[in-house]
Amino acid sequence: MPVCTTRDGVDIFYKDWGEGRPVVFIHGWPLNGDAWQDQLKAVADAGFRGIAHDRRGHGRSTPVVDGYDFDTFADDLNDLLTDLDLRDVTLVAHSMGGGELARYIGRHGTARVRSAVLLSAIPPLMLQGPDNPEGVPQKVFDDMKAGILDERSQFWKDASVGFFSADREGTKATQGNRDAFWYMAMSETIEGGVACVDAFAATDFHEDLARFDIPTLVVHGDDDQIVPIDATARKTAEIVRGAELKVYEGGSHGIALVPGFKERFNQDLLAFLQK
């Protein structure tokens, strides 16, 4: 398997498809690089090189018990980009992966980066507070952790409903979407599942976003039941200079996987890559 060994000895698995200018995909929680297969094929077919890695503790990467914080995730991404000597890269990140992308730029700058795409992403801050009333209450995150620790297999089956807005009338989410979500979630370590909740709930990315000096596309569904658009995408588009915001009406959190929405996202992504 193709792996990059990080500075602390963790093997990060990645897919590497196609040739051309590199596009690196960063997955959300609790998924892995398989979540990006439709987009990997789309960019490879269009003449780009698509790369998607599994975060530490997820998928086929080393199932470590520690390192589930955004400084570590950003440094893992830096190790991957450095190991493959990738330059002029477009970074594409979903959900929690958006925090990884933002922290990477905050810690390592944009010397290797051409542009960025934030899809249903968590920055600038998820946790509700006096300065972020649109955010998510702490109890929601506490219930997530309790669900994982109590019986994670059933928790992930239940969580797939909100992830894809499968409870909405006329939903385009399939049972296959929900099954794939469960399968990927079960390949994440239980320690990672719990620790990542604390990380993506409370990490503040305002300063990281302020360091963006590259073209940035922000895509978010207005029916995202996991990452509220008003607390995240709309604020990110105001912080990042020149950012373009695209709102998908009726779009769930799992835009890149759901039929109809994934084709629209692929078209928007390819159009952005051609700029």
Chain length of the chain: 275
Written as one letter, the residue type at 23 is V
Q: Give dist(CA 132, CA 137) in Å, integer.
A: 10
Angle at 264 between CA 45 and CA 114, to 5 degrees: 60
Terminus-to-terminus CA distance in the chain, angstroms?
Answer: 33
Crossing angle of helices 138-163 and 190-202, rounded to 10°: 110
Annotated catalytic residue, options 115, 187, 224, 252: 224
Specify whether 224 is catalytic: yes
Specify whether 230 is catalytic: no
Annotated catalytic residue, options 27, 94, 220, 253: 253
Residue partners of 81: CB distance under 8 A and separation at least 6: 24, 89, 112
- Determine the 3-state secondary structure of 251 from DSSP: coil
Specify whether 115 is catalytic: no
Annotated catalytic residue, options 95, 115, 187, 252: 95
Q: Which residues are catalytic?
A: 95, 224, 253
